[in-house]
Amino acid sequence: MSQSMNVVMKEKAEKGGVFTTKEIPVPKSNEVLVKIHATSICGTDAHIYNWDEWSQSRIKPPYVMGHEFAGEVVEIGKDVKAIKLGDIVSAETHIVCEVCEFCKTGQAHICKDTQILGVDVDGTYAEYVAIPEANAWVNPKGVDPAYLAVQEPLGNAVHTVMEGEIVGKSIAVVGCGPIGIMSVAVAKAVGASKVIAVEVNEYRLNLAKELGADVVINPMEEDPIQRVLDETDGLGVDIVAEMSGNARAIDQGLKYLKLGGRMSMLGIPNDKISLDVANDIVFKGITIQGIAGRKMYKTWYQVKGLIESGNLDLEPIITHRLPMEDFEKGFELMESGNCGKVVLYPDSSVLEKYK
């Protein structure tokens, strides 16, 4: 095996990334080395690539970007027990301490000492990545690796939509980026009564329709508050799944959320925002939930079950497949909004097989 590999690095504290080389990591005793077959671009990666305020406060270059992936285990550490050479794995990207109060009480997804793959440690825009055995999720063989790579963001959608009652409930998905359109599909698959997609980009509104949205709203063309109220007998939706991180969209979502409703928030605002706490939160008696990643590992089993049920179609979600060296085009697509999931391939032969 060559001692170096191709990677996409966040080399400097500025917008962009660099296609370069780095030494292949040597797995620790509790880690496995994975040859990456496919890695997809996440909204978090776009925040980091664009070097927004959140990234500036969190990211410490230089390091390898990326965290959503699937690949083959090619080396295992001496203390690895369950993972085998040749296994096809994805990963839970939150690397946790396993010993704190949160980890010991079923809340590892909010472990105070969490390190995130591709955020705090070297990630998956690379030919190889080393991950703890505890984070490896074994997949069936023979499946398109793009579908396996998007299980991690799909888990975000599942966690957001299913973190409360959903069967027979109305839901507005605000922001139909890749996780938003997944949330539309998940909500339909698990029995939401009405799914409303709110998005400014027509390409993504059309994707939301394809994935089952009953109503689509472009807030640049009509008043989303009035339209949602019209669609819900004046009561508002039971659930708002907030994926946009947009201050105005969040404010509007609180206004068309039903009394006693639930707002589950995954989107990351670029800056602090101002809200009418008294009228939109306290007096309405609503619940606001922060959604941090996936519940470990409850959400992964929910994702597995949904996929195996046949009720969730991932095909429309994967809209672009690119060689990893074309990562800049991938980020341009993300910025334009004219895409669903963009998947990068470190190995061109894998791309040729599945494109």
Instruction: Of 92-101, 115-124, 268-277, 324-333, give the lowest mean pLDDT range.
Output: 268-277
Total Cβ atoms within 10 A of residue 264: 22
Mean pLDDT of the chain: 96
Give the integer Cα–Cα distance in Å for 200 and 75: 45
Give the CA diameter of the chain: 64
pLDDT tier for residue 53 given thresholds of 50, 70 and 90: confident
The pLDDT, as a whole number, for residue 140 is 93
pLDDT tier for residue 2 given thresholds of 50, 70 and 90: low
Sign of CA dihedral 95, 153, 268, 262: negative
Structure confidence by residue, pLDDT tens digits, 147-166? 999 999 999 999 999 999 99
From 182, 155, 148, select the one nearest 40 (Cα to Cα).
148
For domain 4-150+314-354, give the CATH number: 3.90.180.10
35, 74 Cβ separation under 8 angstroms: yes
Q: Annotated catalytic sites, by residue?
A: 44, 47
Say yes or no: do domains 4-150+314-354 and 157-290 share a fold. no
Q: Enumerate the domain spans of the chain.
A: 4-150+314-354, 157-290
Residues in contact with 197: Cβ distance below 8 Å, sequence separation at least 6, in sequence order: 172, 173, 176, 180, 181, 184, 205, 208, 209, 213, 215, 216, 217
The pLDDT, as a whole number, for residue 284 is 98
Residues in contact with 267: Cβ distance below 8 Å, sequence separation at least 6, in sequence order: 174, 175, 242, 243, 244, 245, 246, 250
pLDDT tier for residue 23 given thresholds of 50, 70 and 90: very high
Give CA 331 to chain center in angstroms: 15
From 296, 306, 333, 298, select the one nearest 318 (Cα to Cα).
333
CA dihedral in degrees (113, 115, 120, 121; nearest 10)? 130
42, 94 Cβ separation under 8 angstroms: no
Task: Choose the CATH number for 157-290 among 1.10.3720.10, 3.30.2270.10, 3.30.70.940, 3.40.50.720.
Answer: 3.40.50.720
Give the integer Cα–Cα distance in Å for 97 and 108: 8
Say if residue 253's pLDDT is above 70.
yes
